[in-house]
Amino acid sequence: MFLPFMMNAWMAGTIVAIIGGVVGIFVVLRGETFMAHAIPHGSFTGAAAAVLLGLSPMLGMAIASIIAGLVIVCLSKRGKHDEVTALMLVFLLGFGTFLLAVSGNSERSIYGLLFGDVLSVQTPDLLWMVVLAVVALAIVGTWFRPLLYGSIIPDMAASRGVSNTALSAILAIVVALVTTTSVPVVGALLMFALLVAPPAAAVQLTASPLRVVAVSVAIALVQVWAAIALAYLANFPVGFTVTALGVVAYMIAKVVAKIRGRARAVRTLK
């Protein structure tokens, strides 16, 4: 399990878990899971375009995802991204297939991009992942307070001069960066399991912002490490083990929150 060819997988998984766990908190708090599902598909189109133009796929993925995210935010009314997100998503997928058809590429490469292949991560990819992860974390760190404030009490934040559209745009860019690093690992379709399940579980367990960050990252790390180990031992696809463990984590958190809530209610009655 710790053979040399597995080391890149472990490192890539660790990077993805840390940034997914942090960035996902705002995705969950702002209720932008649909956007987090749609933006990764930009990387599919971007990679197809980059292959056609002979550029680095990573660059194409980053640019296409960022453009997709910004277009969704700019074209939709405050807090209502639904229809624009759906149309952007189908356009990205349709345009990606068009580019692949025009360049005459095989379907095998589509499959890899959508479902991911953690064993195919190369060392130069890892370097790019670290760079983009640091940029994403720096952005979240810089705007941590306004992001949190604007996500929890949007009206109050707006009256204090925090622009909701600007916050959505920041989040879209960060999700795009996270996506670009993670697509080779877990695939575009399953990327957002990491952005949604660990933070959603963490929010159930604790209310203090910093503790939510810590718990979310911890859950994401355990989820990814266990998923890679399971995939290696049982020979299951990583996409399956990651999502299955995410659902288990969320359900456990829900049950714990419910039991705690009941205990608190009993205590106040006494």
Partner 1 sequence: MRAANLISPGFFTSEPVHLALLVGVIVAIVTALVGVMTVMRAQTFAGHALADLGSVGGAAALLLGVSQLWGFVVAGVIAAIILELVGMGKVRGRDVTTGIVFSAGLGLTALLLYLSTLVGASSTAAVSVLFGSLFVLDKSVVPGVIVLSVLSLLLLGLLWRRLQLTALNGEMASARGVNTRLTGLGFIIALALAVEMSSLTIGAVLSTALLVGPAASALRVCSRIAPSAALAVVFGVIAVVAGVWISYNSFAWTASHRAWPVSFCIVLVVVIEYAICRVVGKRRV
- Residues of this chain that bind partner 1 (CB under 8 A): 28, 31-34, 36-37, 80, 82-83, 85-87, 89-91, 93-95, 97-98, 101-102, 104, 107-108, 110-111, 114-115, 189-190, 192-193, 196-197, 200, 236-237, 239-244, 246-247, 250
Closer CB to partner 1, residue 232 or residue 250? Answer: 250
Closer CB to partner 1, residue 85 or residue 128? Answer: 85
The torsion of the CA quartet 39, 203, 251, 254, rounded to 10 degrees, works out to -140
Closer CB to partner 1, residue 110 or residue 214? Answer: 110
Q: Are 180 and 18 in contact (CB under 8 A)?
A: no
Length of the chain: 270
Least Å from the CB of residue 17 to partner 1: 15
Closer CB to partner 1, residue 50 or residue 186? Answer: 186
Closer CB to partner 1, residue 146 or residue 237? Answer: 237
d(CA 32, CA 115): 22
Closer CB to partner 1, residue 17 or residue 114? Answer: 114
Least Å from the CB of residue 7 to partner 1: 24
Closer CB to partner 1, residue 144 or residue 240? Answer: 240
Least Å from the CB of residue 151 to partner 1: 10
Least Å from the CB of residue 101 to partner 1: 5
Which stretches within 30-163 are classed as H helix? 33-53, 57-75, 82-103, 107-115, 123-142, 144-152, 154-159
Residue 228 is encoded by which pair of tokens? Answer: 């890679």
Least Å from the CB of residue 38 to partner 1: 9
Least Å from the CB of residue 188 to partner 1: 10
Least Å from the CB of residue 119 to partner 1: 14
DSSP assignment of 181-231: HHHHHH-HHHHHHHHHHHHHHHHHH--SHHHHHHHHHHHHHHHHHHHHHHH
d(CA 104, CA 164): 42
User: What is the DSSP-derived secondary structure letter of residue 80?
Assistant: B
Contacts 24+ apart (CB under 8 A), 207-214: 209/148, 212/25, 213/21, 213/22, 213/25
Closer CB to partner 1, residue 81 or residue 140? Answer: 81
Least Å from the CB of residue 66 to partner 1: 20
Q: What's the N-to-C CA distance of the chain in angstroms? A: 53
164-186 vs 4-29: helix crossing angle, rounded to 10 = 160
